[in-house]
Amino acid sequence: MNSIELFAGAGGLGIGLHLAGFQPSRVIEWNSYCCDTIRENQHRGVETVKQWPLTEGDVRLIDFSSYEGKVDLVSGGPPCQPFSVGGRHKAHNDTRDMFPQAIRAVREIRPRAFIFENVKGLTRTTFRNYFEYIKLQLEHPEILPKREEDWADHLSRLEQHHTSGSRQGLNYRVITQVLNAADYGVPQKRERVFFVGFREDTGITWHFPHGTHSRDALIWDMLHGHYWERHEVPKRHRTVPRHAKISRDRPSTQAWRTVRDALTGLPDPVKNPMEASQIANHRFQPGARSYAGHTGSPIDEPAKTLKAGVHGVPGGENMLLRPNGYIRYFTVRESARLQTFPDDFLFHGSWTETMRQLGNAVPVDLARFVGQSVAQHLRSA
């Protein structure tokens, strides 16, 4: 099945969807560093991206009408700064809000389905009306705003159309949900909101796939010693999260994957710098320090959310924290592991720039998991 990827970034969502069975007809990204990363991996022959038809440019300047009726899936992560906790919270007044372009692409391409994702902050009470506005536009992309009509008045017209029962024109069945990547086997507590829609004439009914991993299963494995034995951790160094309770039977889910799980097989860049230097993007970055609110990610839990930062990488969010209090920055390769990028995928640019790419990315395995479910239903239809 074919797709078009908007706002591709460094490729996390696109790689996951490629692994789920989608082949992009076009991949669009405006950031030159992200495009350099994709091109470098194409030049190296990395399977997941080598055939991507990459366009470096502004999505606002692209006419999608030639793809009408020829595409199974449109996907992308519209820039999220307007809704991010770390952003300026301007939402619809922010010129970086690219949801209107995502909606335009759906209107012009008329794909059988779409997958868009964004930061959890979009679901905050502050943005609730605008969240509903986005969802209704995706459900009825041909109900356009009138000239000089503000978004609140357009929302009212969309609500009236939606409740009228009229199903003429282009309509999608859209559902949204906040997913925690840790619940799907990603070694990172990263919450993102997903918009998934199927064109109404496909007749597809769908729900988000249930999580496969859980904290309870991790605690069970720790308390029974399985986790520690797997990693050959001496008993004196074993710690279990506070207030941990154990059930009689092991939970049916798999255990959350931890930072320790993710870094298995990678040499420590401090203890073994020569060995680490043989691995791409695996160089020690000095200067890590801990302070209030920036204490790093405990090694025996899924990592905290990796962040891109408005002015570089936040001091403590992208750090490894060991039980003895030792902290250091994650290397780029370690961060890529936490985002479940393949080990043969390299990142282009300085440490700060590559960490920005990673902090903005969708975890590959989360995208793959959602994409596989969507692909299965499209094939059935």
Note the CATH architecture for domain 2-211+362-380. 3-Layer(aba) Sandwich (3.40)
Residues carrying an active site annotation: 80
Domain ranges of the chain: 2-211+362-380, 214-345
Predicted confidence band at 89 (pLDDT cuts at 50, 70, 90)? very low
Structure confidence at residue 84 (pLDDT): 45
The overall average pLDDT reported for the chain is 91
Structure confidence at residue 102 (pLDDT): 97
pLDDT in tens, 257-270: 999 999 999 999 99
pTM (two decimals)? 0.93
Cα 155–159–163 angle (5° rounding)? 170
Predicted confidence band at 316 (pLDDT cuts at 50, 70, 90)? low
pLDDT in tens, 108-149: 999 999 999 998 989 988 888 999 999 999 999 999 999 999
**Residue 314 pLDDT greater than 70, yes or no:** no
Q: Which residues of 52-83 are buried (b: 16+ CB within 10 A; e: fewer)?
A: bebbbeebeebebeebeeebbbbbbbbbbbbb
pLDDT in tens, 191-242: 999 999 999 999 999 999 999 999 999 999 999 999 999 999 999 988 877 6
Structure confidence at residue 216 (pLDDT): 92
- Domain 214-345 CATH (choose: 3.40.50, 2.60.120, 3.40.720, 3.90.120): 3.90.120
What is the share, in percent, of the chain residues with pLDDT greater than 70? 92
> How many Å apart are CA 334 and CA 250, to the nearest integer?
30
Annotate the chain with three-state secondary structure.
CEEEEECCCCCHHHHHHHHCCCEEEEEEECCHHHHHHHHHHHHCCCCCCCCCCEEECCHHHCCCHHHCCCCCEEEECCCCCCCCCCCCCCHHHCCCCCHHHHHHHHHHHCCCEEEEEEEHHHHCHHHHHHHHHHHHHHHCCCCCCCCCCCHHHHHHHHHHHHHHCCCCCCCEEEEEEEEEHHHHCCCECCEEEEEEEEEHHHCCCCCCCCCCEEHHHHHHHHHCCHHHHHCCCCHHHCCCCCCCCCCCCCCCCEECCCHHHHHCCCCCCCCCHHHHCCCCCCCCCCCCCCECCECCEECCCCECCCCCCCCCCCCCCCEEECCCCCEEECCHHHHHHHCCCCCCCCCCCCHHHHHHHHHCCCCHHHHHHHHHHHHHHHHHC
